[in-house]
Amino acid sequence: MRRYALLVALLCTAVLTAFGQHKLRPDAFPPRVSGKTVFVKSGDVATSAEQMAGWNKYPSYGLYVEMMRQWESNFPSLCRIDTIGTSINGRLLLSAELTANPTDTSLPEFFYSSSIHGDELTGYVMLLRLIDTLLLGYGSNSQYTQLLRTTRICINPLANPDGTYAAGDDDISLAMRFNADYCDLNRNFPNPFVAAKEALQPENEAMIAYVSRHRFRLSANLHDGSEVMNYPWDSFTSAQLSHPDATWWQAVCKRFVDTARRYYAQQFIDVCDDGYIAGGDWYVITGGRQDYMNYYHHCLELTMEISAVKTPAASQLPNYWYRLQHALVNYIAEVHSLPTSAVPPAPSVAASSRFAYPNPAISMFTLSAPLAMGSWLCTLDGRKVRFFPQGAQTIDVAELPAGVYLLSDGNGQALKLQVLKP
């Protein structure tokens, strides 16, 4: 009996130690359809601009749409509102495009998005206030002015309006994680490593079409439920597959966390001491937008978990802005300091020992010999599009736009592949 008791004690100690070393956030487990995650009360939702003036309320759906349109009206030379699409229940998915040089196609493009989980709403208000702050500060704040002159900044404050306003357009008391079809939108994106489990939802179809019209170089998807910077990949642990720019991501995350902690020392401490982690080292998911953006669009995207409470009391929102404002702005500026690997020099198009057939092709090329080493498919200007591992002999381009691409052979030479579309 004593031996049995000792064994039980050792097992309990091992389990407790393991959990103590690696704390998981709530949605690491199957998410709950019910349960209190929204800590709002009557009066926390604003229905007019006057009620929203102190930024200590959540907007009603109608006010949200009005605010976005008002910015476009008040700042016509700086702001354009784009409709990404509509939700299942017909609510608008909106994006504010901010730039002082809208016709300059050479500007790097940046993307912020929030609340793909409808009950995670801190980021919703943070991004609305960020739009307002950048527009009002143009011409008087040198950092905001420089960013708007040199960057195309797109901000989608609310990616899942049906989940947020499940109880009605003026009520977030029943805000839920899922969309109106009870689908978790952040498990519903195409995943390059695992087959899709369910049909693509309308909100994600619209988002995919929207990002495909742009060339976003850097982005972030804002969540709540924990406080940590979650960089790719989500589909693997770093031991299984490390992101090629992991070192750069760690430096970017550290700058964000350090900036936030200057204003609140306890920010980003509930998952790990550093405040940032590779997604799969926290817990593995598939179908997330982060891996989709990194793989299919070669856009450096991370997930920002900015509040341990999914929808905090509205009175707390100004406190979150105080902590995060400067870090959120500085992260946009990172688009001008991307890792060199993100924009590699185009390899020379010299004679290669292999060839591809058919060439041109619509969806698939077959190489005359397997790749001797992992190789990137690049655009002619050197932008990485897709990675193919050592030994690959088929090059899938079904989801790529028409054009000419270069496949490096690892020796400074490249095979030119022409993609056609029917």
Structure tokens that stand for 183 in this block: 């689908």
Rounded to whole angstroms, how far apart are CA atoms 356 and 365? 6
Neighbours of 311 (CB within 10 A): 26
> In tens digits, what is the pLDDT along the chain, a chain of 422 residues?
444 443 334 334 333 333 333 344 444 433 344 444 566 776 899 999 999 999 999 999 999 999 999 999 999 999 999 999 999 999 999 999 999 999 998 899 999 999 999 999 999 999 999 999 999 999 999 999 999 999 999 999 999 999 999 999 999 999 999 999 999 999 999 987 787 778 999 999 999 999 989 989 999 999 999 999 999 999 989 999 888 899 999 999 999 999 999 999 999 999 999 999 999 999 999 999 999 999 888 899 999 999 999 999 999 999 999 999 999 999 999 999 998 666 544 444 444 556 787 878 888 888 888 888 888 888 876 777 888 888 888 889 888 888 888 887 655 567 888 888 76
Q: How far apart are CA 38 and CA 119, in angstroms?
A: 7
Q: Is the pTM of this model over 0.75?
A: yes
**Where are any strands of DSSP class E within 40-171?**
45-46, 58-59, 79-86, 92-98, 109-114, 152-156
Please give the distance of CA 347 from its chain centroid, rounded to a whole number. Answer: 30
pLDDT of residue 17: 38
Write down the pLDDT at residue 390.
82
Q: For residues 233 and 236, what is the distance between their CA atoms, to the nearest angstrom?
A: 6
| pLDDT score recorded for residue 412 | 58
Architecture of domain 26-341: 3-Layer(aba) Sandwich (3.40)
Measured distance CA(45)–CA(316) in Å, rounded: 13
Is the bond into 59 cis (omega within 30 degrees of 0)? no
**Torsions phi, psi for 292 (to 5 deg):** -60, -50
pLDDT of residue 333: 97
Burial class of 11 by CB neighbour count within 10 A (0 to 12, 13 to 18, 19+)? exposed
Tally helices (H) and strands (E) across the chain: 11, 17
Q: What per-residue confidence (pLDDT) applies to 196? A: 78
Position 156 scores a pLDDT of 98
Domains 26-341 and 356-419 agree in fold: no
H/E element, 54 = none
What is the reported pLDDT for 343? 53
Phi, psi of 112 (to 5 degrees): -110, 140
User: Domain spanning 356-419: which superfamily?
Assistant: Immunoglobulins (2.60.40.10)
Q: Domain locations in the chain?
A: 26-341, 356-419
- Beta-strand ranges (E) seen in 318-391 are 356-357, 364-367, 375-379, 384-388
CA angle 216, 214, 412 (to 5 degrees): 60
Any alpha helices (H) in 355-419, and if so which ranges? none
The letter for the amino acid at 83 is T
Strands (E), 22-136: 45-46, 58-59, 79-86, 92-98, 109-114
Kindly state the tokens that stand for 314. 């509205």
Contacts of 406 (CB under 8 A, 6+ apart): 346, 347, 349, 377, 378, 379, 380, 414, 415, 416, 417
Q: What is the pLDDT of residue 242?
A: 87
Other beta carbons within 10 Å of 314: 22
Backbone angles phi, psi at 178, to 5 degrees: -90, 170
**DSSP SS3 for 287:** coil
Q: How far apart are CA 105 and CA 99, in angstroms?
A: 11
